[in-house]
Each structure stands twice: as structure tokens, then as C-alpha cells.
Amino acid sequence: MHSEPLGPTTLDLFADADQQPARTEQLGPQAFVLRGFALPWVPRLLAALEQTLKAAPFRNMLTPGGFTMSVGLSNCGALGWTTDRSGYRYTALDPVSGLPWPPMPQVFRELAQCAASEAGFADFAPDACLINRYLPGAKMSLHQDRNEGSYEPPIVSISLGLPAMFLFGGMQRSDKSQRVPLLHGDVVVWGGVDRLRYHGVLPLKEGLHPQLGAQRINFTLRTAG
């Protein structure tokens, strides 16, 4: 008897050296890391990313306090998160081009919905995808995601490329943070009682990822409107 050939899903799960079989880690009552969950979607994610960036390239935005963010930002979807001297907010138009943000590629929506459902949040319908690019040294200070119209839907955060140390804190900035290494293909989902947890990313270490080179890409999907 010959054995069954490996199905495409199984092959996809182990296609990279840094890949691991999907497994779930719990960060809070309603917060989870889905290890390797995005791996089967990576080729489609990268193709969609390339298209999106043609219309809305990464830019280093100004914080309301006048600092230039070290992370390069772009967006896709009906709403995009932006910041400048007048504050943080969601806009329908890209302030650089004056055009609507590029539409959200189906693959982002699908993956985010699957990941949310895996974490116990049914029918997640994101209308905003923030795209963060970390070059070595770039970091994201502890913050809460609180510019959205409702805190009912969860947040889905997809990591690609170089590993990063994600900080997952409490409801107060001063609460102790868990340190969570995020690798290529990991997805973090937090919502419900954990929706307003402080979080951030330590400065990215130098490195070279086989597929993405010297960078980390993070997609953060939310229902903003």
C-alpha cells in the first residue's frame, strides 16, 4: 500500500525553516497568539501587500507631540489610521495622495475572520487594516487601540518577516507587560475583556528574513467605523 500524499495545507504549514505547526497560546481571558496561523496565506498576503503599497507607500507619520514615528505606516480598507500634529484618527482618504485608501484585499479579510473565529470572535468584519513596517531599530511604544467607534469587535494582528518582541500589558500603562516573541506567520487576537490592553513592540533587532529581508511587516485589522 502506498501512503496518501501530503495535502497542500500540511505542506504549506512546514514550507519555511522558521515555521512551526499551528498552536495557540493564551495571553488573557480573551487574548491569544495563534502560532503560524498565517503561514498558508503568506504568498497571497505578500502579493496583496505589493499592490497596496503601490497606491499607498509606507510613510513615517508625525505624532501629535511632534515626533516622527520610527515605524513606516500604510493602510488599506475603507478607513485608515493616521496621525499628525492634530491627533490620531481614522480617515477615508490617504492624506498623502488625497485618494481613498486602497481597498482591503480579500485575503486580509479572510485570514482575519478565520483567526478571530479561532479565538472565539465570530463574524469579525474589519473595515481598516493598518500596515506597519519595522526596520531594525524601529519600535512601537506602549499604547491602547482606542480610536475605533466600538470596542466590541476584536483586534487581529498578523506578523511577517523578522521576529519581534511584542509587549502585552494590562489596562494601565504602568501594569507589568508579558513579553511575547512574534515570528513570521504568527497572529495575535485580542478582544472582549482584553480589548483595551496596553501593547507595544521593542526595538527590532537586526536580521535577515529569508522571504522579507531586513524588516518586519505587521497588519493590524480592526473594525474602526
Which 83-142 residues touch ligand SIN, going by CB under 6 A? 130, 132, 140
Helix axes 42-55, 106-118, angle to 10 degrees: 130
Distance CA 148, CA 25 (A): 26
> What string marks each residue from 131 to 150 as x (binds ligand SIN by CB under 6 A) or -?
-x-------x----------
Which 196-215 residues touch ligand SIN, going by CB under 6 A? 199, 201
CB of 200 to Fe ion, least distance (A): 8
Q: Measured from the CB atom, is 3 or 68 closer to ligand SIN?
A: 68
- In the list 74, 75, 82, 220, the residue contacting ligand SIN (rule: CB under 6 A) is 220
Distances (CA, A) of 99 to 47, 76, 79, 104, 165: 21, 12, 12, 14, 34
Is-contact 187 22, C-beta < 8 A? Answer: no
- In the list 30, 74, 82, 157, the residue contacting ligand SIN (rule: CB under 6 A) is 157
**Does 143 count as an annotated binding residue?**
yes
Name which of 139, 127, 147, 137 is nearest 64 in CA terms.
Answer: 147
**Does 2 count as an annotated binding residue?**
no
CB of 17 to Fe ion, least distance (A): 29
Q: 8: how many CB neighbours lie within 10 A of its CB?
A: 9
- In the list 101, 108, 166, 168, the residue contacting ligand SIN (rule: CB under 6 A) is 166
**Does 199 count as an annotated binding residue?**
yes
CB of 84 to ligand SIN, least distance (A): 17
Binding site for Fe ion (CB under 5 A): 145
Q: What is the DSSP letter of 7?
A: P
Torsion angles phi and psi, residue 195, rounded to 5:
-60, -35
Beta bridge partners of 168: 178, 199
Burial grade of 83 (CB within 10 A; 0-12, 13-18, 19 or more): middle
The site that binds ligand SIN (CB under 6 A) totals a number of residues, namely 9
CA 23 to chain centre: 18
> Residues forming the annotated binding site?
143, 145, 199
> Residues forming the annotated binding site for Fe cation?
143, 145, 199
Residues making contact with ligand SIN (CB under 6 A): 130, 132, 140, 157, 166, 199, 201, 218, 220
